[in-house]
């Protein structure tokens, strides 16, 4: 799954990438393979495959002099005979609208640094988008961040003080009490998170701001251990641990989205559009809820204790439904 995501699996996604790749390389003669792959969020192998495909593209006639020339030597890329598509693609009206709406939502996040710089970017994009920018003024996104929570965390960060959280954990459907030494506020996937050293878990944890039931600023100084590292979010927010429970699911075609939505250790094609996926989770309870949600389109096949738990939960739910029916 991760490789599918990194490669840009659909033909439409790949075409968009190729159309952006050519002007990018024309403007950067000799760009390194590893740098370009990182910039486009794909693997180096996938980039080479894309470049080989570009070799066969060009103007009608498709004689040697009509085709784009690509040369990779010593890890450096040179593209020529592609001046007809040397200008980067312009944003479509829907793309410009979506980008402006997202930037304005970001600008409303309490405690955001460099807000002026963000407003300058929005103004430049509005000028470039022209009439397409008008539609974005009619769309508003409410950012979920609780102002009081964010303000308290900002104070704690500035004064290096500990906070006490009453925090809701949906995976266990319970409210917990914990002391946290704040490290930073992050915005990921349109939601705000407090990252800090949790004294209950004795580890760095992320706390979703809208799940903070209450927060109190304590008089105790924050004491984040020197070896505590911020969580790397480059690969996404949810990164399973090797010690988490390994679960195997078999998915029918309508449930293939699971392999795209959740980080999987392996994805195996079973034929007729069916998949077998393996993923890790620290909370088996959500796998049970996922299995019930999928119904006939998905089933847990391993580990045995989780299979039994899903069956018991499904049977209890069915019995309750029959009693109320």
Query: pTM to 2 decimals?
Result: 0.41
* DSSP character string of 242-274: TTSEEEEEEE-GGGTHHHHHS--SEEEEEETTE
Determine the pLDDT at residue 164. 95
> Model confidence over 102-135: pLDDT tens digits?
777 666 655 555 667 777 777 777 777 666 666 6
**Nearby residues of 269 by Cβ (< 8 Å), 6 or more positions away:** 275
3-state secondary structure of 26: helix
**Nearby residues of 3 by Cβ (< 8 Å), 6 or more positions away:** 43
Determine the pLDDT at residue 174. 76
Cα separation of 325 and 319, whole Å?
10
> Model confidence over 190-218: pLDDT tens digits?
678 889 999 998 888 889 888 888 899 99
Determine the pLDDT at residue 6. 43
**Residue 30: count of CB within 10 angstroms of its CB:** 12
Segment 113-119 long-range contacts (CB within 8 Å, at least 24 positions apart) = none
Q: At what angle are helices 44-54 and 33-40 packed, to 10 degrees?
A: 100
Determine the pLDDT at residue 156. 93
Mean pLDDT by 10 residues, the chain (325 residues): 46 74 84 88 86 71 65 85 63 72 67 67 74 60 64 91 88 80 82 88 87 90 90 63 83 85 83 88 79 86 90 81 64
Determine the pLDDT at residue 7. 45
Determine the pLDDT at residue 103. 75
Determine the pLDDT at residue 133. 61
Task: Determine whether 56 is exposed, middle or buried from the number of CB atoms within 10 Å of its CB (0-12, 13-18, 19+).
Answer: exposed
Angle 288-274-306 from CA coordinates, rounded to 5°: 20
In Å, what is the CA distance from 182 to each residue of 26, 112, 138, 163, 266? 45, 16, 36, 7, 35
**Nearby residues of 301 by Cβ (< 8 Å), 6 or more positions away:** 248, 249, 250, 276, 307
Determine the pLDDT at residue 237. 59
For residues 216 and 161, the answer to whether their CB atoms sit within 8 Å is: no
């Amino acid at each position: 799954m991760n490789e599918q995501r990194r490669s840009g699996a659909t033909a439409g996604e790949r075409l968009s990438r190729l159309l952006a790749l050519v002007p990018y390389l024309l403007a950067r003669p000799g760009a390194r393979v590893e740098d370009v792959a990182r910039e486009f969020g794909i693997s180096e192998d996938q980039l080479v495959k894309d470049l080989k495909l570009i070799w066969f593209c060009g103007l009608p006639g498709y004689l040697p002099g009509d085709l784009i020339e690509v040369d990779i030597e010593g890890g450096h890329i040179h593209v020529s005979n592609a001046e007809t598509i040397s200008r980067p693609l312009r944003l479509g009206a829907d793309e410009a609208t979506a980008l402006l709406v997202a930037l304005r939502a970001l600008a409303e996040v309490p405690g955001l640094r460099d807000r002026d710089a963000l407003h300058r970017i929005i103004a430049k994009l509005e000028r470039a988008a022209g009439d397409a920018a008008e539609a974005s003024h009619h769309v508003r996104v409410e950012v979920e961040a609780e102002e009081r929570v964010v303000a308290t965390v900002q104070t704690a960060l500035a004064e290096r003080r500990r906070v006490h959280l009453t925090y809701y954990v949906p995976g266990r459907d319970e409210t917990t009490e914990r002391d946290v030494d704040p490290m930073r506020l992050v915005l990921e996937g349109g939601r705000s998170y407090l990252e800090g050293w949790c004294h209950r878990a004795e580890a760095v944890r992320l706390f979703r701001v809208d799940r903070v039931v209450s927060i109190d600023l304590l008089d105790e100084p924050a004491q984040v251990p020197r070896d505590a590292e911020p969580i790397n979010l480059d690969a996404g927010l949810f990164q399973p641990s090797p010690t988490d429970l390994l679960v195997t699911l078999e998915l029918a075609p309508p449930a293939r989205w699971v392999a795209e939505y959740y980080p999987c250790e392996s994805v195996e094609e079973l034929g007729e559009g069916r998949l077998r996926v393996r993923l890790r989770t620290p909370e088996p309870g959500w796998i049970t809820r996922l299995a019930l949600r999928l119904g006939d389109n998905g089933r847990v096949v391993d580990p045995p204790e989780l299979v039994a738990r899903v069956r018991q939960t499904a049977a209890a739910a069915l019995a309750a439904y029959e009693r109320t029916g």
